[in-house]
Structure 1
Amino acid sequence: MKRKNSVSVPVLFAGAFFVSALSAGGAFAKVPDAQINRLGAELTPLGAEKAGNGGAIPEWTGGLSSVPANVADEFSPDKLAPNPFSADKVQFEITGENIAQYGDQLTEGYKALLSTYSSYKMPVYQTRRTCAFPEFVYEATKNNAKVADLTGGGNGVAEGIMGFPFPIPNNALEIIWNHSLRYRAFKLTREFTAAPVTRSGEYELQTVQDEAIIQWANPTKKSAEELDNISLLYIANTVAPARSAGSVILVHETLNRALEDRRAWQYSPGTRRVRRAPNISYDNPGTNSDGLSTSDAFDGFNGAPDRYDWTVLGKSEKFIAANTYDAVLTTYDNLIKPLHINQDVMRYELHRVWSIEANIRPGTRHVYAKRVKHFDEDSWTITGTELYDGRGELWRVQELHGRQDYGVPLCNKGAEIVYDLQAGRYLALALQNEGQPTNFNADELDADRYTPAAIRQLGVR
């Protein structure tokens, strides 16, 4: 390796309540009080099954809501969180030779990776249900179950605020919105790295400083109607390599896309001008992705869902990337390898996962004709996707690493890997391995900063 310049059959529906319509096209139904009262009882505050499966999946008992005692001496908010499970041992490994033994518990994406790359393996560890959020998020989520609604034909959310909008979902679109509006703090800043990797393992690190004010989580707001249709204010400033430095993106993410599309601007240091950037959406190439991902594929999925018909496939037990602390604590040279990341530092666990399918809507276009997405039931976060081309062939596989930021507490997503099976290349995103942790308390951020004029000032080479 060289560094340049430096779905099975749906089961287990008991964990959430589906009223009638299991597809996005069905009528939207309110959740009965009897179902809402299950939150915090036999269901977790976010709607997952508290109970284990009598085997590998344990009961949820509250997750990691504070710094564990065994890492308290090492923990610092200014450093990447130490692995509280460093003593855990690999229980077994899944490889291309034993896929059949675990077939029902593997997504189609993992089956493809195991079949395509002889060096790819999945070290499986004890399942630990670490997901936890602040109590006010749980309270807001329960209230959302009573009042939140889809609006704009499923392209927006009304009435709810702060927590997960649909802890007991009625359809696939509500599951997508749980992911899109999941709690990630109110004001945050970070520095992350992206690495488009060639087949031979060469890559050039691209470093971005980004920041966000997540208005959906604004503690001063009482409902979505107070947000002026803006759920998120976001700035991303590319700072390396030198030839890309100074390129800045500004996004005002709209909450009801039926009323208004995402507003986006881009400052180019070459022209020294700020321009509207409607191309930062849908299947346009993603920023700093070297053509290996689309704008709406970052974070598993983002933006308007209106080009697809969405269907719930069901809930099943699947191996997912979870509690991947070691994958963050290693160096880039040890993480990034030819064909795929270093699987020796990865951790997989058996979790219950919701799966949904999106098929391109007649009369619309997208480079992905079909998308299958898998959500960890404890966090509603997308943990993996399969992306299909117009021929119906599996094209790309996304793997999103789950990790509990127990110092917040916050059940969060770490690195994101996009494997292009047809090109034999991959894109590693949201890497923080050799940097600082995310600052989830960036109180200095002000909404007045998120203007085209402000990003021109940032874009200085």
Structure 2
Amino acid sequence: MKNKYKVSAISICLATVLSQQTFAAVSPEEAAKLNSELTPVGAIKAGNADGTIPAWTGGLTDAAKKSDGKRPPQLFASEKPLITITAGNLDKYADKLTDGAKYLLKNYQGYKIEIYPTHRTGAAPQYIYDRSISNATKITLQDHKMSFDGFAGGVPFPIPKTGEEAMFNMNWNWRGADSTLEASTWFVSSSGKRALTSSNVINISTPYNYPPGRENKFDKNLWGGSLITATAPAYSAGEKQVVNIPRDAINMQTNAWVYLAGQRRLRKAPNVQYDVPNNFTSGLTNFDDSWGFSGATDRYDWKLIGRQEFYVPYLGNSLANAKAEDLVGEKFINPEFMRWELHRVWVVEANLKAGARHVVPKRRLYIDEDTWTILTTDLWDAKGQLWKSMQIPPLTYPEIPLTLSVPLVIYNFQSRDYALMSSTSGSNEGINFAELPATMYTPQYLERSGVR
């Protein structure tokens, strides 16, 4: 019996040590790389061996390159594609293409991918860099929960050790403090019929991205808030939804309220987590598909495959400035407006946990090393068949500086329909970044605004 207890004690100690190793923040020696060979958010500063990916030299922070109205500026407009990939030459470039990109090239007649010179435009304010470097030795993740002692924003795990840490980086990355997005969602059926399913004004505030000196008037347990106001179609115009987004999406409730303009009633919204279908895309996406993935991580095992080079959608500024009638095609987004570049990305694979439920049992995500934004995501169904693919060519605002994860294109390969979400391709649509009050994200605000 003594030996049995001795073994048990050793096992407990070993498990404790392994747990500490698994979830501990990085050492000061490793964190020091963030001031040398790595950028402050953990990207490799150097370019690649053959020079097709340049070195990061601070990103694009040219204050003179300002947006025209509310749309991002046209960048590198004079550049021509270096490579055009089609079904005919796909095999030559297959090792740098995602499964979703290869499926589109093989199965969608006329689809092409144009590869442009790579620009490492990703940049953030200095205070975001300072916070990210500080986080490296302080912030931990255990049982899907991030520690918040000493966290004041920035990238929580600039030197990630696990796939889940990479996903938390994406969730907390720099996306501006406040934004007001006027955008539309287009749905295209398998027959090629195009429909404007919604136009909205979307207000988002993320208090952990506030600059030094700005008071955070949100509840301390909130990641931030969103307010969505429908402007079209006519039958839904005036409807509003407020979501209070918790900083711990698993252990804290996500509260949401809806104001129905036709009934002049305020209602508590149902669950806006996991695989609940998103009504704005006719059920083509779920709520956790936002930004490529958002919300609770507890239903998946997350594997950090590592940093790899891929052709990915990048610099979506041309797409954001295009007219909808030129952009939204019968089978796919007009490739002339999609810019692809070679970038190093963090590849993360998510597989459904045993006993967990989700309509998407497997995902593979490709996350930009310079900005921690998801650039593309592939999704598989329960039969192991490739089901959907999302492309998220980020918008770049050098004057802020900021890289923003809009718009989003999602293809359903099995039903052969697709959607363009959060598109600024309307005549009066775009984004601005004026400061917004925390009181906007309350049910009381919905009631007051509805009465007016």
What one-letter code is carried by the residue in structure 1 that aligns with 2:249? R
Structure 1 counterpart of 2:29, from 26, 29, 34: 34
Residue in structure 1 matched with residue 315 of structure 2 by the alignment: 323
Q: In structure 2, do the counterparts of structure 1 residues 157 and 197 end up closer, same or farther at CA, with 3 Å as the change threshold? A: farther
Helix, strand or coil: the match of 2:105? Answer: helix
Residue of 67, 72, 86 corresponding to 2:63: 67
1:167 counterpart residue number:
158
Out of 418, 431, 435, the position equivalent to 1:438 is 431
Kindly state the Cα deviation for residue 26 of structure 1 after the two structures are TM-superposed: 8.1
1:433 Cα deviation after fit: 2.2
CA distance in 2, matches of 1:291, 1:257: 22
Return 273-282 or 377-386, whichever deviates more.
Answer: 273-282
Identity, % of aligned positions:
35
CA distance in 2, matches of 1:421, 1:193: 22
What amino acid does structure 2 have at the position aligned with 1:124?
A: I
| Residue 386 (structure 1) shift | 0.8
Q: Are the counterparts in 2 of residues 354 and 376 from structure 1 also a CA contact under 8 Å?
A: yes
Other-structure match for 2:131: 140
Aligned partners of 1:357 and 1:372 also within 8 Å: yes
1:340 aligns to 2:346 (yes or no):
no
By how many angstroms is 1:77 displaced?
5.9
Residue of structure 2 in register with 1:416 after alignment? 408
Alignment partners' CA distance in 1, 2:75 and 2:307: 29
What is the match of residue 11 of structure 2? none
Find the aligned partners of 1:25 and 1:424 in 2 and give their Cα distance.
Answer: 47
On the 8 A contact 1:281/1:296 being kept in 2, the answer is yes
Q: Is the 8 A contact 2:174 2:371 kept in 1?
A: no
Offset of 1:292 from its aligned partner?
0.6
Q: C-alpha distance in 1, partners of 2:251/2:338?
A: 42
How far apart are residue 454 of structure 1 and its match? 1.7
For structure 2, the 5+ residue unaligned runs are: 1-18
Deviation of the 1:458 alpha carbon? 3.7
Matched residue SS, 2:319? helix
Query: 1:130: which partner in 2?
Result: 121
Among 44, 47, 58, which residue is 2:42 paired with? Answer: 47
The aligned runs of 1:199-238 (5 Å cut-off) are 199-205=190-196, 206-219=198-211, 228-238=220-230
Q: Within 1, Cα distance between the matches of 2:242 and 2:303? A: 32
What is the match of residue 16 of structure 2?
A: none
Q: Is the 8 A contact 1:155 1:304 kept in 2?
A: no
Matched residues in 1 for 2:20 and 2:274: separation? 21
SS of residue matched to 2:414: coil
1:110 aligns with 2:101: yes
For 2:288, give the aligned amino acid.
Answer: D
Distance 1:102 1:166 in 2: 32
Q: What's the offset of the Cα at 1:218?
A: 3.0
* Residue 339 (structure 1) shift: 1.1
SS, match of residue 141 in structure 1: helix
Equivalent residue, structure 2, for 1:96:
87
8 Å contact 1:210–1:237 — kept in the other structure? Answer: yes
Q: CA deviation at 1:295?
A: 0.7
Contact 1:334–1:342 (8 Å) recurs in 2: yes
**What's the CA shift for 1:140?**
1.0
Q: How does 1:168-207 map to 2 (within 5 A)?
A: 168-205=159-196, 206-207=198-199
**Residues 294-318 of structure 1, C-alpha deviations (whole Å, 9 max, x = no match):** 0110111111111111111222110
Cα offsets for 1:247-269 (capped at 9, x unmatched) = 21111111123431211122223
Of Structure 1 and Structure 2, the greater helix share is in 2
Q: Report the secondary structure of 2:281's partner residue.
A: coil
Are positions 1:154 and 2:144 aligned together? yes
Q: Say whether the 8 Å CA contact 1:246–1:460 is kept in structure 2.
A: no
Q: Is the 8 A contact 2:254 2:271 kept in 1?
A: no
SS in structure 2 of the partner of residue 456 of structure 1: helix
Compute the displacement of 1:223 (Å): 13
1:157 deviates by 4.4
Give the secondary structure class of the aligned counterpart of 2:444. Answer: helix
8 Å contact kept, 2:153–2:208: yes
Query: What TM-score do you get using the length of structure 1 for normalisation?
Result: 0.88
Q: Residues 253 and 299 of structure 1: is their aligned pair in 2 closer, same or farther, counting only changes over 3 Å?
A: same
Other-structure match for 1:274 = 266
RMSD of aligned residue pairs (Cα, Å): 2.3
Q: Is the 8 A contact 1:386 1:394 kept in 2?
A: yes
Q: Which residue of 2 aligns with 1:352?
A: 344
> 1 CA distance for matches of 2:20 and 2:319?
40
Aligned residue among 286, 296, 305 for 2:278: 286
Counterpart residue type for residue 64 of structure 1:
L
Preserved contact between residue 361 and residue 380 of structure 2 (Cα < 8 Å): yes
Q: Is the 8 A contact 2:34 2:133 kept in 1?
A: yes
Query: Structure 2 length as normaliser, TM-score?
Result: 0.90
- Distance across 2 between alignment mates of 1:25 and 1:300: 30
Separation in structure 2 between the aligned mates of residue 141 and residue 364 of structure 1, nearest angstrom: 33
Q: Distance in 1 between matches of 2:258 and 2:21?
A: 38
Residue 221 of structure 1 and its aligned partner are, at CA, apart by: 8.3
Q: How many residues align?
A: 430
Which is higher, the Rg of structure 1 or of structure 2? Answer: 2
- Cα drift, residue 136 of structure 1: 1.1
Structure 1 distance, partners of 2:423, 2:236, is 18
The residue type paired with residue 456 of structure 1 is E
